[in-house]
A and B are shown apart, each in its own frame.
Chain A
Amino acid sequence: MSTTPQMQTATPASGRAPKVVGLVCDWAVGTTELADAAGRLRAHPSVTIIRVPCSGFIRPSWLEDTLKAGADGVFVVGCPYGDCLNREGNYLMRERVDQLQRRLARRKIPAERLAMLAYGLHDVDAFLAEVAAFLKRLEALVPPAAPARPAAPRPAQTASQPVQTEEGA
């Protein structure tokens, strides 16, 4: 419900939507109806979903590499805590994400660019709302200096902006 207005305000603020990669446990929130064949969320086309066997399968270095490669944010979705099919996958991943966030903070990379979420098969609405909120948080981080708010950015400017932001990252 709240996702649409947030998106509308989010996109023009920075000139582009934050690029986000989401690694989603295949037992957790169902995204078949939410995403296209390439894994892009219909509600937020800048978010790409990759389904994995268990959230504990994710090696933290992949998240770090994805951020280094230019993604604005990365999130992991596991099952609700306590309901992991393998009992421990999402707890282990939560700890690994915590550690990676501390490591990123030491390198002056905002830890908010990494998120650990937990949503079950049917929590689609809550999941989409959380993704929208995550995008909004990234939105505040993406432009290092953005006085572009009063003047509507021209489409030509948007192409050069990502390069600057990645230097900052």
Chain B
Amino acid sequence: MYRRVLTALLRATLRLDVAINRVYPTDLNPLYYTGGLANLFLFVLVLSGIFIFFYYVPSLAGAHESIRYLTEQVPYGGLIRGIHRYAADGFIIAALLHLFRNWFTDRYLFSRDSPWISGMFLLFFGGFVGVTGYILVWDVRGLTVLAIFNDLLKAIPLAGQFLADLLTGGQGLSEGTLPRILLLHVGPASMLYVLLGWHYVRLRHPKVWPPATWVLVCVGLVTLASAVLPAVSSTPAEPGVSPAAIPLDVFFLLPFWLAGYLPALAVVVLVAALFAIGYVIPYVARETPQEMGPRDPGVAQVIDGNCTGCELCYYDCPYNAIVMVASPYQGLSRAAQSRKLLAVVLDSRCVECGICIGACPFEALELPGMLESEITQRAAAAVQA
């Protein structure tokens, strides 16, 4: 069932690509750059966030007033605040598109689990940073979000009360609360870059940045949205104000919206379950090895005697799965007689794509499931026929 649905989704995703490729040249298809777009929005968030940080006062009495001052008195302050607000939506949209696209197109297979797992962490902390950002505005909505967050944390068995106190800095609100929330906004946001390092570490040339056209379009869209629909605070938060109907942001605050309809524990379990499923995805293959056929030809093998240590496979492997080591002995072929280096494939990083085979002019690499002799024999048979 799961596999059939996923196959249908794979076909639908690529069908969508066909439609988009009619509009844009394939090099500019935005769906090929969802990861780069998320990274772009994150960069915009960091720049605008640093600007806002200069003006923010993390105190119960001053927080809302400092945001008002930023929006109304500081030149371009309101614009930059809106950019910060809408770039956050852009980040989550791009990240979710990135997640679903890579899920549906099998980009989690074999040793691609490392980018996938780090990606789930990025999504989790990205969402958390967004939620603390809403609290920092310190209007009625922020206070409501904090209250619901408190309830959700308290619903966690055993550790709940401890986590809730950790969030607000002791029982209930105090002057320690907002500095703590500010730390929980800026700290995890900085940590996203550490996680991005993990996200990229196994990729040789990750597409970290979208094409210039899309950089301009996205920055322009965010600026335009900020100018047309300025980000505004609702009334200042005062303990005692009843959390009336607040407009909720679907991208960040979905669990908080759900908390109005479901028991807190159910929401916590739901969110935990969604992330747990996310961590399992790369380990449940869509197809059996038989169905994969040429797509599962086994980990590349170095043919020791032919390797000349030329490093061509090392430069072309897109997953840094090949390392060059000092050759402990000379090779067998004439070209390999005086080699200084030897290529070694790290099984745990190989995704069985075979790009190293195409890079090697010395016949020193093979995929066990698809030998060179098999290809050349089939080609020869086709020519003879």
Contact = CB atoms under 8 A, between A and B. Distances in A.
A40 B206 CA distance: 37
Contacts of B18: 120, 122-123
Nearest to A89: B355
Interface of B: 10-11, 14-15, 17-18, 21, 26-27, 29, 32-33, 105-107, 203-207, 293-295, 297, 316, 318-319, 351-355, 357-361, 363, 367, 370, 372, 375-376, 378-380, 382-385
Contacts of B384: 70
Contact of A85 (B21, B107, B360, B379): B107
Interface in A107-124: 118, 120-123
Contacts of A164: none
B352 A53 contact: yes
Contacts of A16: none
A15 to B, nearest CB: 17
A53 B353 contact: yes
A59 interface: yes
25 contacts: A21-B382, A21-B383, A23-B375, A27-B106, A27-B295, A39-B382, A50-B375, A51-B293, A54-B355, A56-B353, A56-B359, A57-B357, A59-B357, A62-B372, A70-B383, A71-B379, A80-B17, A81-B26, A85-B107, A87-B205, A87-B206, A89-B318, A92-B316, A118-B26, A122-B15
B355 A88 contact: yes
Contacts of A54: 353-355
A23 B319 CA distance: 23
B294 A52 contact: yes
A86 interface: yes
A96 B355 CA distance: 12
A93 interface: yes
Contacts of B203: 87
Given A57-B367, A92-B358, A85 B106 contact: yes
Nearest to A166: B383
Contact of A81 (B10, B27, B367, B372): B27
Contacts of A120: 14, 17-18, 21
B297 to A, nearest CB: 5
Q: How large is the interface on A (under 10, 10 to 19, 20 to 34, 35 or more residues)?
A: 35 or more
A88 B318 contact: yes
A80 B26 contact: yes
Contact of B21 (A26, A59, A62, A80): A80
A58 interface: yes
Interface string A35-48: 00001100000001
A83 B31 CA distance: 9
Nearest to A63: B379
Contacts of B385: 48
Contacts of B29: 80, 82-83
A6 interface: no
B205 A88 contact: yes
A144 to B, nearest CB: 19
Given A54-B354, A57-B357, A71-B382, A121 B107 contact: no
Contacts of A19: 382-383
B234 to A, nearest CB: 43
B316 A121 contact: no
Interface string A1-39: 000000000000000000101010011000000000001
A57 B358 CA distance: 5
A65 interface: yes
B376 A62 contact: yes
Nearest to B105: A85
Nearest to B204: A88
A159 interface: no
B325 to A, nearest CB: 23
